[in-house]
Amino acid sequence: MKTFLMIFGWIAFVTFDCWSQEPQATSLKTGQRPNVLFIAVDDLRPELGCYGSTIVKSPNIDRLAATGVTFTRAYCQQAVCNPSRASLMTGLRPDTIKVWDLQTDFRTAKPDAVTLTQQFMQNGYHVAGIGKIFHNNIQDPPSWSEPKLNVPDYPFDPDAVYRAKENVAWLEQRQAELTAKGDTRRIDQFGKWYLKHVATENVDVPDDAYFDGAQTSVAIEKMKALASADKPFFLAVGYYRPHLPFNAPKRYWDLYERDEIPLAENRFLPANVPLMAVNTAREIRGYTDFKTMPQPHEGSLTDEQSRLLRHGYLASVSYIDAQVGRLLNSLREQGLDKNTIVVLWGDHGWKLGEHNSWCKMTNFEIDTRVPLIVRAGDAKEKGQRCDRLVEFVDIYPTLCELAQIPVRNELEGTSFAPLLDNRALAWKKAVFCQFLREGIWVAPDGVTYMGRCIRTERYRYVEWKKPDSNVVTARELYDLDSDPQENDNIAEQPARQELIADLARQLKAGWRAALPESKLETTE
């Protein structure tokens, strides 16, 4: 009976959210500049039906993919929020903007940087944003035509919002304890408390009870206002789920049967992996029910704990999928769908027990590979999957080219707009990622390391160095043809040393040397 009710509920869910499928995207209206709907999703790995997942329920993002181009090998520049988002929004790599952590504002090193949204503003667009586009407390006011949209009564970082009575009671008690001590460090600039409690919450509330549902309602009203304005618009909507805590309305939890959710296949560290390559458990230990979980090199979560977290992640993805559906429906209802470029991206991947780890913050494929879907009305490859290597720094020049506004010379990516019309084009030889293992994510030996990574068609190669040294402390090499899960670091195998030397040369040569042949001439 339970299985029948779950199936019936899922059919009803799909019917409600997809009652009218998106029309096949058509050419942008003649003489009109396209609008842009820019959808960012925090901690979303490519765990979507359009990426081949057989477990997740994501009908709305899947229907976006059916009318857009799905990039199956897209990569972030660094698998943690602030560097990834700052790099994407500036079109510059982390080493250029000097952003490798959660605290640094990109304008410290690049005060005159012109962000993606600024470039659109300077070329006649009205730019509005809500939610998490840049990192939480780095809002960058110059990047918006108007003050950032908000939802009343939420803290500046509204991912940790609880609605269950027992959780609210715990938070009120904790606030009282901190107030009695005079400890106000968890009060934001708007006078609202920001506290985390448990890692999951399953409560029967409407979608708008949590921030992501509420902000979708605000974004839709803004979209309606912008539809009648005299300028084209760039509307950015940044979702917090499926970032921890996995707090989503009960109806999304009910889409899944926990006992049927598979666990990660590789719940172990890669063979021969250097420990600085493995992330710590610090992020998930920030929640009261997981504060004593072991580090990845020390032990594992129980099957029960693992399934709880995987269930919460899937429920959160489906919750966000429903909000994306609301945005797409509003575009159609406003008559905007035929003249709006839609781009959806997740800021980095996420581990759900893979490599005996959780969260992000490594150079592995599972952390650096990201979902990226682009729908432009006249794209010849709409509805197709593109397997060419692309990076987040490429999004800025791509959107400029699609909107026919100037592409800035200083950008460190290349427009992949040609792939929207021909996904078979020869493209980049490699993409580049990095991670700074320091501070709150310090390596198990207590030493700071920078890991720089090149990902080619077949291999992932990483060099770990201390920041003040050019000596390679450790190397990683994975053959993704024979070892797609990266379970065996083969960097020390004697037969691989010639290959390593070649990959090391490519890593040192950097991103310019990896550009498509057609793009090399324009950078010289």
Compute the Cα dihedral for 125, 153, 247, 250 and give only its sign. negative
Catalytic site residue 400? Answer: no
| H and E: helices and strands count for the chain | 15, 16
Task: Give the angle subtended at the CA of 369 by the CAs of 363 and 372, to the nearest 5°.
Answer: 150
Query: By CB neighbour count within 10 A (0-12 exposed, 13-18 middle, 19+ buried), where does 247 fall?
Result: buried
Is residue 23 reached through a cis peptide bond, with omega within 30 degrees of 0 on the bond before it? no
| E strand segments, 21-172 | 35-41, 69-75, 126-131
Nearest residue to 157 (alpha-carbon basis) of 197, 200, 188: 188
Distance of CA 128 to the CA centre of its chain: 20
Q: Is residue 434 a contact partner of residue 363, using CB atoms and an 8 Å limit?
A: yes
* 411 token code pair: 């950008």
Do the strands 200-203 and 390-391 form a parallel or antiparallel pair, or are they unpaired?
unpaired
* 212 token code pair: 């992501």
Catalytic site residue 197? Answer: no
One of 135, 243, 311, 348 is an active-site residue; which one?
A: 135
One of 81, 359, 433, 453 is an active-site residue; which one?
A: 81
Rounded distance between C-alpha atoms, residue 211 and residue 31, angstroms: 37
Catalytic site positions: 81, 135
